[in-house]
Structure 1
Amino acid sequence: MEQRKLGNQGLVVSAMGLGCMGMSEFYGDTDDNESLKVIQSALDNGITLLDTADMYGGGHNEELVGKAIKNCRDKVIIATKFGIVREKNSTSRSICGTPDYVKQACDASLKRLGVETIDLYYQHRVDLTVPIEDTVGAMAELVHAGKVRYIGLSEAKAETIRRAHQVHPLTALQTEYSLWTRDIEQEILPTLRELGISLVAYSPLGRGFLTGAINSIDALAQNDFRRFNPRFEGDNFGKNKKLLDDVTQIATKLGCTTAQLALAWVLAKGEDIVPIPGTKRLKYLLDNINSLKVTLTDELINALESIIRPEKVQGTRYPAERMKMLNN
């Protein structure tokens, strides 16, 4: 497995990580035993970066990851996140970045994961009511205390990243990045490269859309949150699907899957970018890993980007109320 550096502080991870969120909720029914097999296979195939968060499954996802790495802690880079607060038995969410909460959340994550140190700790969403300097200052204290090795932000705008980086060096920014989500290329990605911060790209397969395997929203489980995602709803789905058809034709000519082509594009956008495609199925994990074997020329990269241009994509990344939680 190819290795890539995250940031300039010494963290090295596999060129592709594994997003574990869907193993607990959001994408239909889950199976812990199957998920544990997927994580083990990921590790066996050289993946070292496992991504989770305290809000996934209300803590279940961290417990699952902790169980999976119990006997191989030294081979794994654990990344988790804090900041999105979920009320029990409610779909309502809030954001908290107060120093006291940062420390409480970290201790709770350490306990669920069953580890003494979190390798990479992100603020999941920026709390606009708390100065970023205060939040990152508390995260820095966790580093000094040995509870966290490296820190990062998720879904933060360029100005916020700069201010945070002045308090304590950021290793990575985690944000959505794929063929159909490229808005960070305008300001955020150049800022990261100027400061020596790496990008961890979540949803590099467009929440599964860029695999080409979803032919209609009706094919999704009733408890799949994509049913309420604007890009999957109404006429947007059909219009977006037409864009993907041309990508699939290129994949067929290359002898790879549409998913592999989409991941290969992300991997080709820079060695400072590490995608973390999520899956709870062994078949898809192995398919994703094989995208590392796909080599793209500049001509192919330009062709893909001209097919799925940002202005052609229909629908926002999240429903309106969730878009308000983004700091970008």
Structure 2
Amino acid sequence: MKKKQLGKSDMKISELTLGCMSLGTDQNQAERIIDTAIDAGINHLDTADLYDMGRNEEIIGKAIKEKRDQLILTTKVGNHFNKQTGDWYWDPSKEYINKAIKDSLRRLDTDYIDFYMLHGGTIEDPIEETIESFEELKKEGLIRAYGISSIRPNVIREYVKSSSIDGVMMQYSLLDRRPEEEILDLLHKNDISVLSRGPLAKGMLSNQGGAVLERKGENGYLDYRYDELKAIQQHIAELLDERQTMNGLALQYVLNHPAVATAVFGASSSEQVEENTVVDNSEALSAETIERLQTITKLNRYDKHR
């Protein structure tokens, strides 16, 4: 599997990332999913301290203990949670980040985190303080690089201007093309990688997209109505050749932009991992195919997330 440099860091991550939020809480099942991903060439795992109130990190720590040096591990911080009550609140303060990383390191059973991300953020945050915390953790060797997980253009621009982030995780797919107009080129120009989450649009751009649409798409998706989603699925199916799948085309589309280092997909079974990793990405999508895909979908725009 191809690997791409993560920002200006010395790390190269696989063009597909296993998003671990959907692993569940069965250790053996989670290990099977992770092993399937690794066997397919994936070297990047994405989690967060909030997932299952820390349990997700513990499961991953056990699963990768013997192969930690082979993997790039990402986790996130910023949601101050109470495992006993299940409550949490947003806390991007330096004090909390410095405490939270120690908890994450313990749960992951590791001495360092490869890529540490702020799990959200608003323009009202103490951004300078947050950046200072990440920079200090980097100097201490507790993290190798850092970034943010955000779809807010004003927050992203502030971190581009004021920090040395190496990556931004954001929602990006054929059905959510909001980053294309004002974010992707900005990040590429500044050597900041995009980690594209939701590339299959909640499964509506997967091989089971028709069934998913019937279950989840009655009220539409972003600014798409149900009937529009159904028509798009039909149009995409007509574009597929004998080597392509719906999953593959959707993943290839987001990976086409030079700013995108990896597409992050979730999986709750080994079969779902296999479905996404059998894709042949050796040949990029043609300009004609990309133009056609952009013609049948919308160039959405950010409105609420400012």
TM-score (norm 1): 0.83
Q: Look up the match of 2:7.
A: 7
Q: Look up the match of 2:228.
A: 239
Cα separation, partners in 2 of 1:276 and 1:205, compared to 1, 3 Å:
same
Q: Look up the match of 1:263.
A: 251
2:134 pairs, out of 139, 156, 175, with 139
Question: Retained in 1: the 8 A contact 2:147–2:168?
Answer: yes
How far is the alpha carbon of 1:272 from its aligned partner? 4.0
- Summarize deviations over 1:194-253 as a string: whole Å, max 9, x none: 211000001111121110414456976xxxxx6898629xx94443122112112212x3
| Secondary structure of the structure 2 residue equivalent to 1:100 | helix
How far is the alpha carbon of 1:3 from its aligned partner? 1.2
Structure 1: gaps of 5 or more residues: 25-29, 221-225, 318-322
How far is the alpha carbon of 1:166 from its aligned partner? 4.8
Cα separation, partners in 2 of 1:231 and 1:89, compared to 1, 3 Å:
farther
Matched to 1:19, the amino acid is G
Matched, 1:49 2:31: no
- Point out the more displaced range, 237-246 or 279-288: 237-246
Question: Retained in 1: the 8 A contact 2:167–2:195?
Answer: yes
- Summarize deviations over 1:112-136 as a string: whole Å, max 9, x none: 1111100000001114442211111
Matched, 1:105 2:94: no
| Secondary structure of the structure 1 residue equivalent to 2:35 | helix
Structure 2: gaps of 5 or more residues: none
2:171, 2:52 → 1: CA distance? 20
Cα separation, partners in 2 of 1:229 and 1:282, compared to 1, 3 Å:
farther
1:303 pairs, out of 279, 292, 304, with 292
Query: Any residues of structure 2 matched to 1:150-299 within 5 Å, and which?
Result: 150-216=145-211, 231=221, 236-251=225-240, 253-270=241-258, 272-291=260-279, 292-293=281-282, 295-299=284-288
Cα separation, partners in 2 of 1:193 and 1:73, compared to 1, 3 Å:
same
How far is the alpha carbon of 1:256 from its aligned partner? 1.9
How far is the alpha carbon of 1:295 from its aligned partner? 3.5
| Secondary structure of the structure 2 residue equivalent to 1:116 | coil
Matched to 1:188, the amino acid is I
- Point out the more displaced range, 85-94 or 34-43: 85-94
Cα separation, partners in 2 of 1:302 and 1:91, compared to 1, 3 Å:
farther
| Secondary structure of the structure 2 residue equivalent to 1:7 | coil
How far is the alpha carbon of 1:77 from its aligned partner? 0.3
1:268, 1:146 → 2: CA distance? 33
RMSD value, Cα: 2.9
2:220, 2:111 → 1: CA distance? 40
How far is the alpha carbon of 1:281 from its aligned partner? 1.8
Matched to 2:61, the amino acid is G
**Residue-pair matches, total:** 305
2:234, 2:50 → 1: CA distance? 35
How far is the alpha carbon of 1:186 from its aligned partner? 1.3
Q: Look up the match of 1:148.
A: 143
- Point out the more displaced range, 111-120 or 263-272: 263-272
How far is the alpha carbon of 1:150 from its aligned partner? 0.2
How far is the alpha carbon of 1:187 from its aligned partner? 1.2
Cα separation, partners in 2 of 1:217 and 1:6, compared to 1, 3 Å:
closer
Matched, 1:67 2:62: yes
- Summarize deviations over 1:91-141 as a string: whole Å, max 9, x none: 865321111111111111111111110000000111444221111111111
Cα separation, partners in 2 of 1:258 and 1:294, compared to 1, 3 Å:
farther
- Point out the more displaced range, 146-155 or 85-94: 85-94
| Secondary structure of the structure 1 residue equivalent to 2:196 | strand
